[in-house]
Structure 1
């Protein structure tokens, strides 16, 4: 096992990684920007180093500086967390070249799965169902219009290198497509440095269900069941749960086996997630692969009893999986909600100083926190400040616990999305398991 690792991230995921490292007696090196000098992860790590200004390009995306600090501190490995550099193949390759272990898959796999077009091709090669669409970048707006007309509206216009809903838009007519194309292409270029766009058929009222996998360097691969992530706003998840209230056992196993087949075909190692869209008839279609730890990984940990960060480190250090598929049990039900510093009506970020912060405690309640009382939420980073995870023997018990916990969750000084989460938790459609991707639009934003 490693003696020391550097965590190339911030916020709650950096704190989360540090917690497991402490239990494993692995020393941690934190990096931070000027805006994060007083952040919890800085104080919890064994060492912490300033890497630049407040903006991500000046700090958390500064590959040269991060590699320099890893070498300087003698860190043997780098954990990238999620977001930021976690799916940056150039960063993973730079780590390798510097003799530092990147805690994740190989740079080549990251690059292939980072392209939505290339990942579609990879899935088609091994018989994993994909949403009907094209497998080449669109040349221009005119080709986009021709493809969409042939495919039939509605379609989803997507940035090939995109994520988090950026560069993505549902279009229902040629007029909408022409209005959307240039703007989404520019956003993709600005955010990802790649303006390649493609089109796929839009599936009405789908479920967003993903399969967590673990794979060691010898090719041993298992799936850790599924997570339902359908409740979203602006194509970003806000509520995740495991297991899905929608899947039957046959579909659940078929999706898991498809995910393992995909991972094995890639020579994948470490933790990863295959995301699917599932239609009303439980047909499932590959959406994308996340070659990193997911924000919602705690719900999988809660129902399986596994520490995914621990296994990420063990696999990266060369250890083989000590269990097989039949050993992966699931117990109870877990729900995670993301607490954002944002206006619950407009979803606009709400930066400021937190003047009061108290969270509920008790059986079946887990927190992943990026802030505390007196923390300053800046406009420089993603506005997620915490995650609340609840568990119960049944889904009904977990929902009851979620409602109670949200009522006892207090944040002052900034606006948060807690009122919106309370609406979700209390809604009859949520309790009945009617959690398609249009949940927020249909049930919470209806005028």
Structure 2
């Protein structure tokens, strides 16, 4: 096993990685910005190094400062968490060139899946279903218009180098495409340094379902079930559950097999997620549903705890074992999911418009009880600053059945006492009483319908 691990991240995911590292007897090293000096992940690490001011570009994305921290502390490996440098192929290569272990997939896999067009083409070649769309960037508006005519309106306009729900627009007709193409291209150049644009079929009613994969040290790729991620605002997830209430056994078999093929196509190692769009042909006939590859996230996902609870695994431990060249803790041929798990993302944002609302935490009392888990990045007395993502904690519940999990979620939300920053707990109270969500027959437009 790795002996010392530098966690190149912050907040709840850094705290969560540190918790597993310490359980395994691995020395845990935190890096932090000046703004995060008093957060729990810094205090709970065996050692901590300040790598710069609040601006992420000068701290959590500062590769030179992070590598210097790894060298000064004698770290053997680096775990990037999610966000920041986690899907930066150049950073992964630099880490390994420096003689350190990178806890993640190889840089070539990150590069291959980082460009949405290249990823689509690779997946199509591997026999993974992809939605109708362009096989190369739409170089200009004329190319975009021609592609849309061939694909058929409405179309999705996507930044090829984008991710996290950013850099996307929908065009119902030619006039809308003229506007969205320029808007997405400008956003992509500003945010990702790459203005390449992909045109793809847009499905008005769709579910977002993803498969957790793990590339083992011996070269095998295994699928650890699916997660339903359709409760979204601005194309970003708020709720995840496993298993998906929309996926039949037959569909699950096809989904998981396609995800394994996706991983094998890029010689995938470590944890990753194959994200798909699930398109119902008929509303009440899940067996006739189609799915299409959306993208691959070459890192640990925010929502990994629901998979952990259903499969009884610690995915961070499995990541460390793969990185160290060790066998997994489980038998890949005898994986048995049990029960149902639901995750609610507790954000510092108002519950109506979902706009950020940072501030000092005056009250923070987490719910407890059977089947309740909280992965938090803050405690009472901390301040949620405006410099980073608004995620404060993840409330995860598990139970033998989905109805029981929903009841536990209701109780847990009611017993999560939080004041100071704006927060979205009232939204979850509303959601858990929503008949469409309770039924399990919902899609990515659920929140707009609620509002």
1:432 to 439, 447, 451: 439
Q: For residues 9 and 59 of structure 1, what CA distance do their matches in structure 2 show?
A: 10
User: For 1:346 and 1:180, how far apart are their aligned partners in 2?
Assistant: 23
Higher deviation after alignment, 149-158 or 11-20: 149-158
What are the superposed Cα offsets for residues 149-192 of structure 1, whole Å, 9 maximum, x if unpaired?
A: 22111111000111122111122111111112222222222222
- In 1: Cα distance, 2:327 partner to 2:263 partner: 16
Find the counterpart in structure 1 of residue 382 from structure 2.
375
Q: What is the Cα-based RMSD across aligned positions, in Å?
A: 1.1
Moved over 3 A (4+): 321-326
* TM-aligned CA deviation for residue 34 of structure 1: 1.1
Answering whether residue 361 of structure 2 is matched by residue 348 of structure 1, we say: no
Give 1:17 shift: 0.2
**Is the contact made by 1:215 and 1:321 (CA closer than 8 Å) also made in structure 2?**
no
Alignment of 1:52-201 (within 5 A): 52-201=52-201
Gaps of 5+ in 1: none
Asked if the contact 1:222/1:324 (under 8 Å) is kept, the reply is: no
Q: Which residue of 2 aligns with 1:402?
A: 409
| Match 2:393 to one of 362, 376, 386 | 386
SS of 2:333 mapped into structure 1 = helix
User: How far is the alpha carbon of 1:323 from its aligned partner?
Assistant: 4.2
1:199-236 CA-to-partner distances (Å, cap 9, x unmatched) read 10012211111111111132122111110101100000
Name 2:371's counterpart in structure 1.
364
Paired residues for 1:260-271 under 5 Å: 260-271=260-271
Q: Which secondary structure does the structure 2 equivalent of 1:188 belong to? A: helix
* 3-state SS of 1:120 partner: helix
Equivalent residues, number = 444
Aligned counterpart, 2:284: none
Which piece of structure 1 moves more, 61-70 or 320-329?
320-329
1:226 aligns with 226
Matched, 1:29 2:36: no
Once the two structures are TM-superposed, the CA of residue 15 in structure 1 deviates from its matched residue by 0.4
| Residues 33-48 of structure 1 aligned to structure 2 (within 5 Å) | 33-48=33-48
Q: Is the 8 A contact 1:27 1:46 kept in 2?
A: yes
* TM-score, length-scaled by structure 1: 0.98
CA–CA distance in structure 1, aligned partners of residues 192 and 75 of structure 2: 28
Unpaired segments ≥5 residues, structure 2:
281-287
TM-score, structure 2 length as denominator? Answer: 0.97
- 1:331 positional shift: 0.5
| 2:297 corresponds to | 290
SS of 2:29's partner is strand
Tell me if the contact between 2:363 and 2:419 (Cα under 8 Å) persists in the aligned partners: yes
Partner SS for 1:287: strand
Structure 2 Cα separation of the partners of residues 62 and 123 of structure 1: 32
Confirm or deny that 1:414 pairs with 2:395.
Answer: no
Deviation at 1:422, TM superposition (A): 1.4
Please give the secondary structure, in 2, of the residue aligned with 1:225. strand
The answer to whether the 8 Å contact 1:220/1:321 transfers is: no
